[in-house]
A and B are shown apart, each in its own frame.
Chain A
Amino acid sequence: MRPVAIVGLDCRFPGAPDPGAYWDMLMRSDEGVGKVPGQRWNAQDFHSPTGAEGHSNTSEGGFITDPDAFDNEFFTISPREAAAMDPQQRLLLQCAWRAVEDAGIAPQKLAGSPTGVFVGIMGNEWAQLHLTDYARVTAQVGSGNGYCMTANRVSYHLDLKGPSLAVDTACSSSLVAVHLACNALLSGECDTAIAAGVNVALTPALNIFYTQAGLSAPDGRCKPFSAEADGIGRGEGVGAVVLRRLEDAVADGQPVYAVIRGTAVNQDGRSNGITAPNRWSQQDVLTAAYRRAGVEPSEVTFTEAHGTGTVLGDMIEIKALGQLHADRTGRPMAVGSVKGSIGHTEGAAGIAGLIKVALSLHHRVVPASRHATKENPALKLAKQGLRLLKTPLRLQSKPAIGGLSSFGMGGTNAHAVLESAPAYAARPEAVVVDGERTSGRTGLGSGVFTVSAPSLDALRRNLLAQADAIQRRRVSAGSLCWSSNRVKTGHRYRFALPAQDTGELAGALREAATDDDLLARLTGNPAGRPLVALLFTGQGSQYPAMTARLYRESPLYRRFLDEADAALTPHTGGSVRDLLLSGDPEVHRTRWTQPALFAVGYALASSLAELGVRPTLLLGHSVGEYAAAVLAEVFPLEQAAQLIAARGALMERLPEGGGMLAVRATPRDLAPLLEREPLVGVGAVNGPQATVLSGELAALGRIDDALQKRRIRTRKLAVSHAFHSPLMEPVLEEFAGIAEEAGGGVPKLPVYSTVRGRLLEAEPMDAKYWTEHISAPVLFGEAAMQLLEAGPTHLVEVGPRPVLTQMARRLRPSALAGGQSVALVPDEQAGGHQLAEAVAQLYRSGLEPWWNAAYPEEERAPQRLAPYAFSDAHRFWTRGPIRSATATGVGVLPASGAAAREQSGEAEPETRALSVAGTVEALAVLPSARESAPVDVVASAVIEAVAGVGGYAPQEISPGSLLFEDLGFDSVMVMELKDRIQERLTGLEAMSVQDLLPRLSSVGDLIDYLRDRVGAAVA
């Protein structure tokens, strides 16, 4: 058989709410067995130490906590439907989701794929309780029951289109499900498979059965292969694994827990009694599995046995194993069974064993088997080539092989052979990027950690879950962030935070979860994709060592600054990059200022483009226009570099003695003053009251004096020359010559020209344009106003400090109310962290970054993250504890939530208990109730009807509630809704479902529609 990889898993077993806790419990040889919770059945009613007829000899077992908790809102399942679902379906749904996340896949990305779902299950007690209460059988109760629906629910809610089926072979069900899943993968029926098992004990029926059949342990505990073994103790649980063909897992860079090398299933046939285990068939299934895996028995280091702890069952299993292992050389094979810790989890037993074996091979240590120290001497283990796992077994560094048995009461046996993952699969190579975009160096210099959730409450809960997990273990922060971008980005509320250290990250996540203002700043709930405007900063924004830290920290930025430097060096006679890195104050000389700002602008904008930020609107202030033009493909980098270098050098040669003066006035106000000074002109108009004059210093001084007298505010700018002034004329001719060589076409992206003060419409940015650009005033105000009218959601400052975004904000503060300013380099110390924050900000606003560009190759390696933490606020448990017929009839428990809490020992959650029939028994009002109560008859009738059909409290329904997306309505519920509305609104003429369907988007729509109809009927 070709190998199948276990790439993801999740589980919940007695005493262990998740795989981490499961592993810890096993490594401590602990157990999760205790009293029958009051929620299930009244243990005293059914307990008889002597095992009297109709009674069980034990009142203990392995029960999971909170089987009633279900995050129905996450799956948009209405409370009424949730209440009508077998808890096994609910548990499985959450478990499958988490297992897929553990596999490093955002579950949303599996939607539509032919992924298979294979569920092992043998308990149908929910149906026995509810489908026999004929008066209360509703549509929801029907679909809430049945083995098939356990698997089909997972396929439905995750939108998986591969085979989807439930398997019942009694206690071997879930290992048989794994067997079928492997076969489906290997036959090409699906490329990913979820194999699972689930078991929840709702009634004492099997306890009574085990007792009456002489198989029940009085203390409710399986003691596998122990001298004290005296029968079965029942256990509950749910577990799921995500399986891939090994070659696919490796190709996709998914880390692998362990590899399934071979599985086999057979039957006892007509053996001595249908429920009796059969040694010969067990031997056969072992032999078949070893053969299929291509291993010799002696290669198997350990086996997770079925090991129910019945004297006969243990004996037969050991003899069957002994047949194959008695003559092995070297150390005897180690044998244990997880049933000693969690009981016999029946339909979930196979998956419990599989997860234990997979984790053992992953951690390279096999936990000790509880109760093994008191070995049953009658088993003569040593003679059989076997030994019990009395202490944890550290596996050698070479590949290790483990076996797993699971046998069904009706005679269907299963065995699987697993092997440790090959080193290359346990820790995959870095993911080499999808090819097209990221050639060359990548990485922001800091990761961005992302978490998403369907609501703010859910987000808070998940931030805490991540913080806890991250704090527990030190891993590469970069890999952790990259993995979070891949797995944790599918939901509506987007949280993002730059992170370079896991310790600091854990603290920051915790802080955000507890500080609402902070959470609001770090979270977005975008309605669409951002419309990004890039504003390229001009002269005056430069400073020594600008972006030097970013250059050192971010390989991505480094790559593009190096590119710009290489293009400039032939023309600048020195390296702009080296100038910046050395912190040379020469950067203030315009022959360096201009190329340096161009290089910074080009490198920042190119980094953004590489990260997937599609610029839709471009504007450059004066020299900032050069980098904008390269981005708009006016000319290639090399030509722009030549031109900007020449521009700077020519201006440098002009005599100093020019200056610039910023004035709080309009150009018109200044016109009379300028008429008298031919050597001064308007250099820039940055806004209605923001004019910059440029020209000869003495003349500027005279103007300044005149303005001072009029109490008009002025500010002298620190510049070497009078840019955009008549003093520039001497360079024009020579520059025009060079510009002719450089060329320049029509921009391919919208460029808002500061020469024209407007959007360029099919006009070339050619030699004529760039020559005019030198002496023409910079019409930033007008260009920016027009850009703002196009409605960008984000103004991104592409320069070494924020200048233009602030100027633009002053132009039209109100228009920008919904937009955001983004600074790639917010201050002189900014580095990778700040660039990462800018990317985080854009992601929060709806950008889907090309995350791979944000990380260097070595960080693009998957790290497992804590899976989604579901809410346990909503509880669904429709039946009270089962009581013996002599006590009371089967009835509804009025305060079932309280019973659940009692046994889980937890603080009081928001609790609701719904009966299957849909009447609300005890409904705590949820604090999330959205809007105020409706005011009219139609509205209240509709809301009551919607609430009644969905099982919501009326307060939870608002006109904005979406029937399908928010409230989980389906076609059956719509039928009922129609009937209920017609019952309540007597003035309403008869209507069909077809009439109603187009009006069902939101509750408000429905109310409006019905109001019209009622009105029409009255009229």
Chain B
Amino acid sequence: MQSTPPSPEAVAYLAAVGTALPGDPVDNAMLAKTLGVNEEWIDVFIGTRTRHFARDLITGEVRWSLADLCAQAGERALSAARVAPEEIEFVVMGTATPDHLMPATVNQVADQLGLDQLPTYQLQSGCAGAVQALELGRTLITGGGYGTGLVIGGDVCSKHLELDRDLSGAAPSDLVNYVLFGDGAGAAVLTSEPRGHRLALRRVLNRFTGLGREPGQVIDWFGLADRHEDRQAVREDYKAIESAVPVMAAEILWELLEELDWSTDQVDFLLPPQLSGRMTRRITEQLDLPGAVEVSCVAETGNNGNALPFLQLERLLEQMTDGQRALAVAVESSKWIKSGFALEKV
């Protein structure tokens, strides 16, 4: 474990990815029927076609916990990598919506996967949490002497999916929370030696840039004392997000390119931020990497937070061939976190 001295050239590899989406996809017609939202409005202004929910839209029953989905994704990643659970030496998980404040969901996931006697970490973050988890995993491998670890990201919005609410008169800023999000989880096996898909994780960027800026998104939680307060559980400054994210995305892209000394035509795949079908399209156009194939999922999966980079990675793995390179860009608009990573198939 910690005995191997860190080497400056040490590289962490992504061996395999597994993902889990709960139940059948929910399309806009179904969502419109259940919540009384206008279907055309979703198509035009959001551009997300389907998403998955851990809560049954008809009965309201919660069918999957975050731990269930993350463990399912983790198990699939292990199977795909042909890595035995006993080989896993650490687990890092990013989420904004843990099942409980305690125990941390990462430990429930470890339990479901039969993992024991190993360090676990849970990073509380929005969309950037998955990237932060990748960064911590990479650090543990390149600097901590670990050989194999599991990195997980996932979110469920079941808690805030209020099914008996009539939204026909709701404002767009409120409506958007119901149609934008989805549930899901993803996981990746990181290794110190190239295995499985042999994707070298060349760079990970994770930077807080929100000093003095109002959060673009707030998800609240309630306890015994304040549970009756009339606060909106999910708030979103959609205007601020719309103007800031494209700019931040471009900065992330260029920072990664410059640090790696890659030119734009050396990037074969681009994994852009996954806000909604429509926003992602706009941002990708502005990033202007015509030579790179866009790898997106949000139009089919909905914005399921920390699962997104893994869902994109899964689509990427199907297409990537030896020697190809990919860049991923993610922005967390709560307190404005820049994140991204660079991969190369060796």
Chain A residues packing against B (C-beta within 8 Å): 27, 362-365, 392, 394, 396-398, 423, 426-427, 429, 472-476, 479, 503, 858, 861
Contacts and interface: CB of A to CB of B under 8 A. Distances in A.
B35 interface: no
B30 to A, nearest CB: 15
Contacts of A363: 86, 116-117
Given A394-B1, A394-B117, A474-B71, A861 B86 contact: no
Contact of B112 (A362, A429, A474, A861): A474
A291 B72 CA distance: 45
The 7 closest A-B CB pairs, nearest first, are A397-B147, A427-B84, A473-B114, A365-B117, A474-B112, A474-B71, A426-B84
B112 A394 contact: no
Given A394-B117, A476-B76, A503 B68 contact: yes
Contacts of A423: 84, 87
Nearest to B64: A503
B336 interface: no
Nearest to A428: B82
Interface string B142-172: 0000111000000000000000000000000
B141 to A, nearest CB: 10
Given A394-B1, A397-B146, A474 B83 contact: no
A397 B86 contact: no
A861 B72 CA distance: 17
A741 B55 CA distance: 59
B91 to A, nearest CB: 14
Contacts of B89: 397
Contacts of B118: 394
Given A364-B87, A365-B116, A396-B3, A861 B79 contact: yes
A595 to B, nearest CB: 30
9 contacts: A364-B87, A427-B83, A427-B87, A429-B82, A472-B114, A473-B112, A476-B76, A861-B79, A861-B82
A396 B147 CA distance: 8
Interface in B64-79: 68, 71-72, 74-76, 79
Given A394-B1, A394-B118, A426 B86 contact: yes
Contacts of B83: 427
Nearest to B147: A397
B46 to A, nearest CB: 25
A457 to B, nearest CB: 30
A740 to B, nearest CB: 47
B162 to A, nearest CB: 26
B82 A476 contact: no
Given A396-B1, A474-B113, A364 B79 contact: no
Given A394-B117, A473-B113, A861-B79, 18 more contacts: A364-B86, A364-B87, A365-B117, A394-B118, A396-B3, A397-B1, A397-B147, A397-B148, A426-B84, A426-B86, A426-B87, A429-B82, A473-B112, A474-B71, A474-B113, A476-B76, A476-B79, A861-B82
Given A365-B116, A394-B1, A474 B86 contact: no
Interface residues of B, number: 26
A830 B170 CA distance: 38
Contacts of B112: 473-474
Nearest to B149: A397
Interface string B105-124: 00000001110111000000
A858 B16 CA distance: 13
Contacts of B71: 474
B80 interface: yes
A27 B114 CA distance: 14
A649 to B, nearest CB: 36
Contacts of B75: 474-476
Contacts of A392: 117
Contacts of A476: 75-76, 79
Interface string B292-334: 0000000000000000000000000000000000000000000
Most buried by B among A364, A397, A429, A475: A397
Contacts of A472: 114
A363 B1 CA distance: 15
A503 B63 CA distance: 11
B24 to A, nearest CB: 11
Contacts of A364: 86-87
A474 B72 contact: yes
Nearest to B89: A397
A301 to B, nearest CB: 11
Contacts of A475: 75
Nearest to A424: B82
Nearest to B148: A397
B86 A479 contact: no
Contact of A27 (B84, B116, B192): B116
Contacts of A479: 79
A394 B79 CA distance: 23
A476 B87 CA distance: 17
